[in-house]
Amino acid sequence: MAEEHICAQEKQWQKDALALKEVLKLEMLPVGISIIQSQPVDNQDKIRICKAFLEAAKGKTIKINKDNNACFGAAWHLGFHKLQEGSKIMQMVRKFVVEGEKLFSSYEALDTLMSQIEDVPDNSDSHFLLCPLESCKDKPQIVMFVCNPQEACRLLTLLTFIDGVMPKIKIGGPTCRMAVMYPILSGQANISFYDYTARKLCNVERDKMLVAIPYQRIPEMVESIEKCTAGRAKMEYPQEFREFLQRRLAKKAA
């Protein structure tokens, strides 16, 4: 019996995935994401992690490390390689972002945004595992939802329903850093609309955005489904509030 209980606990995230997918009618699968240390990647094709979010949400399991990562920016933002301040490579990157991508009006604006983003650890000997949550073998660090605004609204409502504490959302900056590294390092949920370059390169649908939530918050959200109107609970009007509304309507009619 004890062994069965342990097995059930090990697979709780799979049950959570099915519950959220059912109640929210999610178009795409919730994706579990973890940083795995000291494990090689088996000859997987090169891929951008911003594209991998979409592929994993369609059912694929993807591993990304410094060897099969296809995005130079992600190599820095995920911690595969460290760029030295003031180096020629760093200067080249900054020039590309400001004068090439044209995502910032000036180098000062770029520096201001980067000063608000946390440093990333050395992940040169690690890989990122992206897998549909319902088929994850191990508990993930964060759960990524590729969703539309209504689905995002319901997810964030379920999240704040628990304790009323709003997550410290940071919008802007590189997709991979803000949608993966920030939630993992801070323990905060975050939303991302993809940076505009990533949206174009990955052909992201117009209504799709990202919501990343640390896994430890997911079971509480699932437990709240029957209690919260963002889940299955029905909105109700207490008697005194109903009477108050009726009196207001009566005054307006008079």
pLDDT in tens, 190-237: 999 999 999 999 999 999 999 999 999 999 999 999 999 999 999 988
Give the pLDDT band (50/70/90) at residue 5.
Answer: very low
What is the CB-side half-sphere exposure of residue 199 using CA atoms within 13 A?
Answer: 15
Structure tokens at 120: 């990333």
Sign of CA dihedral 71, 74, 78, 80: positive
How far apart (Å, rounded) are the C-alpha atoms in residues 159 and 153?
10
Predicted confidence at residue 3, as pLDDT, reads 43
- Find the mean pLDDT for residues 62-85: 91
- Find the mean pLDDT for residues 106-122: 92
Quick one: CA torsion of 231, 234, 240, 246, rounded to 10 degrees?
A: 120
Q: How far apart are the first and last CA of the chain?
A: 69
Percent of the chain whose predicted confidence (pLDDT) is above 70: 94
- 30-69 pLDDT tens trace: 999 999 987 667 767 899 999 999 999 999 999 999 999 9
Q: How many CB atoms lie within 10 A of CB 179?
A: 27
How far apart (Å, rounded) are the C-alpha atoms in residues 241 and 214?
37
Predicted confidence at residue 244, as pLDDT, reads 87
- Find the mean pLDDT for residues 118-139: 94
pTM comes to 0.88
Predicted confidence at residue 237, as pLDDT, reads 84
How far apart (Å, rounded) are the C-alpha atoms in residues 98 and 221?
40
Predicted confidence at residue 248, as pLDDT, reads 86
Q: If DSSP codes are grouped into helix, strand and coil, which group holds residue 214?
A: strand
Decide which of 88 and 41 is more confident. 88
Backbone angles phi, psi at 211, to 5 degrees: -125, 120
How far apart (Å, rounded) are the C-alpha atoms in residues 104 and 98?
5
Structure tokens at 179: 């949608």
CB 175 within 8 Å of CB 210? yes
Q: Does 183 have pLDDT greater than 60?
A: yes
Task: Give burial (CB, 10 Å; 0-12/13-18/19+) of 193.
Answer: middle
Q: Quote the distance between the C-alpha of residue 124 and its chain's center.
A: 22
Average pLDDT, the chain: 91
- Find the mean pLDDT for residues 181-187: 96
Give the pLDDT band (50/70/90) at residue 6.
Answer: very low
